[in-house]
Structure 1
């Protein structure tokens, strides 16, 4: 269902314009989905005026829907980087122009100034909603309260959600985010691309230079990744030498260009450690996140399988997940792994 339909359904649900009779059931479904997202949601029209608040957004902003309806989003949703600095304005012309290029922006650890004078530490994302013709019809603002307003609380939140070595999202936090993206893909019929990245032969660095060298390389390659993706995309370290990247509102052709550029830049990277020079590559598995995936585990498993296929084809490769072949390849590998394990356990090997 195109983003524009969401706007039409929400407008219809609140009487802002007449809804067609055959959309009424779908209207209720979409409205209920927005209410049950588990996070605060504000939807605006193309002019930035509020057309929908869910109950969580009402609680955090202090605005009732009846009062917020048709107000500018910047009036209802007021956030600052710190209580002593200027207002953050996610709905200014320049901010929305940046969104036109990136489709989504994410901001963490800002203060929401509620209508009833509370100050809440939140993070939020703003996503453009487009109609079937590609024209921008509004924005979807999703935000959540982060417990505690002190710097120590924010520090604890950061330590929980981010990898201390690379400063990227950790696996747990990334999976929470991916779950929301998979959900949005189904509700809003949006398409994103999930990339599973594995460093080829990384253990060579650990074996030759030790874990300190390995950690330094991971920091350098993480910095390279950050420099080569849009700030609206989500990058995470899943563990050891494995990374994940979500390219928001991205067609497959464009995603392949981005990932190919990453592969080329990594191949150019020379990592120097004492008297040794290392030149490594990456293998990447891609998955189109659309309404075909019903859980984060199925999406992440598919991306991992695509990455393993890329490695099996000679490393330094990019592979787009193919359900009919990659799934079978992964099951075959697991089958033989279990046979080998059972043979070792039961002493079935013979010289």
Structure 2
């Protein structure tokens, strides 16, 4: 019996050493990255402050916060911290097969399981190696292909690294490319992820560059009230014009713009145009019009256009209510004057 226990312990030790040689796995290990986020024309990330180049630059932290049991298997919890918010948690195994994601916890704290494990890094890494993921994440069908395209010396703020370059493409549920540099014993030192709309237009591009070598640190404070809105909304008289809330009765078109964050694929986005007070001929809170669209991705965006009636807009007070899956999430008040 003692001999069997010794063999089992030896096997566990070997597995731990293999995992550690691929990347650090000690509790509290953290990777600090410089993040640069770029979004497509006319889009806006709620509560974000772009710089003069129109890009959002932040420090983010990827950190191991213990383990969680998923379907009877203990997995490592890799949390992504951004501006006091955990934007996602990857539930991973790291062993001689590579780095595999079993499930994710999204921004709303919901556990999203994969119907089969999703390989993020396949070991052993070598040029020409490739792998696919064709499965489901929750209800969403996901199709991805990855290939190790070579080895490169790369410089990032954390220093110089010899890394494997891995290129990935996703075709479902949305179009996305992943360009990733992985250094053995360190982890991801650089990552460029770009998401595009069905017509090829850029929706979002995120660059991560390792700012410090991995080290064990305490868990940062998490702000419970810092979650971004599902919709960022505005109204303008031009599709890409500045938001305004007062319009002339002769305005030819009013553009109602929305930008999603954390939307469910296929979510129904609805805008309801309501006249609060436009004179005695109409009751208060009279519904003038209603229009809807379907979100094709978590950061889907759109524009609803309201065209001036032949006799012009009736002066008065209005509001536009915004719904996600028939749940009111925001409203914008506006005034029409002669």
**Fold shared by both chains (TM-score > 0.5):** no
Larger radius of gyration: 2
| More helix, by proportion | 1
| More strand, by proportion | 2
